[in-house]
Structure formats: structure tokens, C-alpha cells
Structure 1
């Protein structure tokens, strides 16, 4: 797969990942943490704000991988 196409696909997937993850994290916080203390909210949003990096890291690693040569296929 050409590098430019991989980067286009990866960028689109990261944008979708961030949007969906933000919606899910906010929905979970709204329904589960409504009556919780402020420090529970702080811990939840600190953790959930960092967790999305893991799948994004794998996508970025895939995007940056050099293309295979035809002789390696």
C-alpha cells in the first residue's frame, strides 16, 4: 500500500477514533459519575483522556511503517 494512502486512511481513522471515544467517555461519565465527588471526576477524566492514545499509537505505528518490497510478498 502506498505511504500516502496509508497516512490518509490512518488520519481518518484517528479522527473517527477520537470523536467516538470522546462521545463514549462523556456518556459513561454522565450516567455513571453524576453524583460522584469532584475528585472522582478528575481521576476519571485524567485516565480516560490518556487511554485513547494506545489505539492511536498503533495506528500511527502502522502509518509510519515503510511499504513492503514486491520481492517480500
Structure 2
């Protein structure tokens, strides 16, 4: 698979993942986090805003892998 194709597939997967993760994070925030004190809410919102990056990092590394003929 060429790097260009990997980037296309990876981009589609990232978009789908964020479309699924976003509503889940919003539902969690609306139901549970609203009851926490203000500082705890801020920390949880920051974590929810950043945690989606963790599963996407290996995908981004895969997307950036050079083509076999360029290695």
C-alpha cells in the first residue's frame, strides 16, 4: 500500500473515530461530570479533549511510513 493510500485510509478512520468518540465524550460529560466541583470538571474536560489522541498516534505513525520502494 502506498503512503498516499495509507493517508487516505487513515484520514477516513480518524474522522470516523472522532465522530464516534465525540458524542460518547459529550454524553459522559453531560451525565457525570456536571456533578463534580469546578476544578475537577476542568481537569476532566482537558483529559477528554486530549485522550482521543492516544489511540490515533499509532495510526498516524502507520500513515507516515515510507513506501517500500523509497526505503
Q: Indicate the residue corresponding to 1:34 in structure 2.
A: 34
Give the CA RMSD over aligned residues: 1.4
Q: Indicate the residue corresponding to 1:54 in structure 2.
A: 54
Q: CA deviation at 1:66?
A: 1.9
Q: Indicate the residue corresponding to 1:3 in structure 2.
A: 3
- Structure 1 unaligned blocks of 5 or more: none
What per-residue deviation string (whole Å, max 9, x for no partner) do you get for residues 34-64 of structure 1?
3222212101111111111111111110101
- Structure 2 unaligned blocks of 5 or more: none
Q: CA deviation at 1:30?
A: 1.1
Q: CA deviation at 1:12?
A: 0.7
